[in-house]
Amino acid sequence: MKGEEDMLNKFREYLLVNGKSNRTAIDYVSRVRCFLKQVDLEHISEKNINKFLLKLQEKTKEETGNSYRKALKYFLKFLKKDIEIPTYLKPIKKLPETITLKYLEKTVIPVIENTAHNVLKTKTILYFLFYTGIRVSEIDYIKRDHIDFKKREIKIYIPKKKEERIITLSKIIKKLLQGYFASEKEITNAFNINSDAVKKYFNRIKKHFKEINFSPHLFRKGCANHYYQKGVKIEVIQEMLGHSSIETTKRYIRIDKDTIHKAQDEADEGEKIVSCIDGRNFKEYPQEFNDKLKAKIRKQDDYTCQNCSMTEKEHLKKYNKSLEIHHIDYNKKNCKEENLITLCQECNYKTNFNKEYWNKFYIKIKKEVD
């Protein structure tokens, strides 16, 4: 057993030397340890690995299975074993989860005010996560002297990527940070808390928010959606979140139904939409286009379709309704008698296509009748 732990420690060192973060190294070692409980080191083979992954696949999500595949891939490299790991599983594509500012303020903050030991500090961290879209792990690296309140930005170094990135601050967050910093001196980092403690706090209070998957990462997605709904370009949001690929940012965005409905209504404004039932336009007719006017036009046209000659009696029998009245110039507001003509349902439906032809056709018929 001691020999196995020594080997896992060496594996952890191997991961760190090869550019993995300490957090990733700990995760991979943990997964390999689980694997070695099922498969002895001497019996590692493609068959046994596949058997382990298949069993795992039956009781865990695709993302978990892929994490084990990644860990085992590096472990086999470490052991210098030429065994191929099965391809990654394709996760079910779900709608992106998110949290809104309204939910944060109306539901989350009241709970914080009643449960948090340091309310100001906790509220500041939550609003900071929401408005900056920062990764919770990045909190570990923020020092107060990294913050330039004049420029409203924070420069942090990310060990995992071996790069610096700039986090911009809104005026709201600038005020909150200044208020919190005035109440507590810096000891370990800007917030005097590490990311693990933040995650533990989220896990402790998530029982109050069963309708959402309450986690720090949800706040990152909430930030992306909040600014997207405000009209911020997705390229700007990508820069805010520090994504190397815009495709990742797109996966964060969830467009709410109200926005979709508004966009649909604006796009449909002024358009004629054909009913799948009888070809009539859904847009409202003016008051003067009433039953009295329609009856007058039918009488003028001798209760007959002016195209196919179907009678009112035949139309009632076939469609269980009176002959229809069509606006020749397609302008519903133009209810002059010379612009109205009697048609059966089928002939009226045809007028929704090749409008220029039908417009000339019925103008000619009207003139001939007159």
Give the domain CATH number at 116. 1.10.443.10
Handedness of CA 265, 266, 272, 273 (dihedral sign): negative
Predicted confidence (pLDDT) per residue in 114-171, tens digit: 889 999 999 999 999 999 999 999 999 999 999 999 999 998 877 666 778 899 999 9
Domain tally for the chain? 3
Please provide the distance, in angstroms rounded to a whole number, between the alpha carbons at the two ends of the chain. Answer: 105
Task: Report which DSSP code applies to 159.
Answer: T
* pLDDT at residue 282, as a whole number: 47
Regarding whether 144 and 213 lie in a shared domain, the answer is yes
> Does some domain include residue 88?
no
> Does some domain include residue 169?
yes
Regarding whether 245 and 106 lie in a shared domain, the answer is yes
d(CA 299, CA 342): 9
How many angstroms from the chain centroid is the CA of residue 238? 14
Mean predicted confidence (pLDDT) in 264-274: 56
> Does some domain include residue 167?
yes
Count of CB atoms within 10 A of residue 307's CB? 20
Regarding whether 240 and 117 lie in a shared domain, the answer is yes
Regarding whether 309 and 219 lie in a shared domain, the answer is no
Two structure tokens written together for 320: 């269980």
Predicted confidence (pLDDT) per residue in 272-312, tens digit: 444 444 444 445 678 899 999 999 999 999 999 999 999 99
Predicted confidence (pLDDT) per residue in 84-110, tens digit: 998 888 776 555 588 999 999 999 999
Q: Which residues contact 158 (CB under 8 A, 6 or more apart)?
A: 138, 141, 164, 165, 242
Domain assignment of residue 313, given as a range:
291-369
Q: Where are the alpha helices (DSSP H) in the chain?
A: 2-17, 22-38, 46-59, 62-79, 101-103, 109-115, 119-132, 171-183, 195-205, 216-229, 234-241, 246-252, 257-268, 291-300, 312-319, 345-350, 355-369
Regarding whether 295 and 248 lie in a shared domain, the answer is no
Nearest-10 crossing angle of helices 22-38, 46-59: 100
Mean pLDDT, the chain, as a whole number? 87
Give the domain CATH number at 21. 1.10.150.130
- Whether residue 92 contacts residue 56, with contact meaning beta carbons closer than 8 Å, is answered with no
> Does some domain include residue 162?
yes
* pLDDT at residue 196, as a whole number: 94
* pLDDT at residue 277, as a whole number: 42
- Whether residue 321 contacts residue 315, with contact meaning beta carbons closer than 8 Å, is answered with yes
Domain boundary among 197, 232, 256: 256
